[in-house]
């Protein structure tokens, strides 16, 4: 068997592994609703950065129709 040609020193291994640590998740606290992840639409209000970008009422109506159809089967 041959010799390993390119070995990594313990220092290089440690430098690579220094970025493998698990980081704590950032959570955004808003006064109106529950905490949420950053850069995501608020699912209860449909707001992102103070503007309504998603119709929550429309989706709720669709879900009720879907559940009614499923219950009818």
pLDDT at 7: 85
pLDDT at 1: 65
Asked whether 45 and 33 are in contact (CB, 8 A), the reply is yes
Average pLDDT of the segment spanning 17-39? 88
Contacting residues for 68 by C-beta, under 8 A, at least 6 apart: none
Give the span between the Cα atoms of 38 and 25, in whole angstroms. Answer: 10
The model's confidence at residue 15, banded by pLDDT at 50, 70 and 90, is very high
Could you tell me how many residues make up the chain? 73
Give the span between the Cα atoms of 70 and 62, in whole angstroms. Answer: 12
Asked whether 64 and 54 are in contact (CB, 8 A), the reply is no
The model's confidence at residue 20, banded by pLDDT at 50, 70 and 90, is very high
Instruction: Select from 26, 59, 53 the least CA-distant residue to 41.
Output: 53
**Does the pLDDT value for residue 17 go beyond 90?**
yes
What are the pLDDT digits (tens) for 29-66? 877 778 888 998 888 888 888 888 888 888 888 889 99
């Amino acid at each position: 068997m041959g010799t390993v040609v390119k070995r990594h020193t313990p220092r290089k291994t440690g430098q690579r592994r220094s970025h493998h640590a698990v980081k704590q998740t950032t959570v955004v606290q808003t006064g109106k609703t529950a905490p949420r992840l950053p850069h995501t639409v608020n699912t209860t209000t449909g707001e992102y950065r103070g503007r309504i970008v998603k119709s929550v009422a429309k989706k709720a109506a669709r879900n009720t129709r879907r559940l009614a159809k499923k219950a009818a089967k």
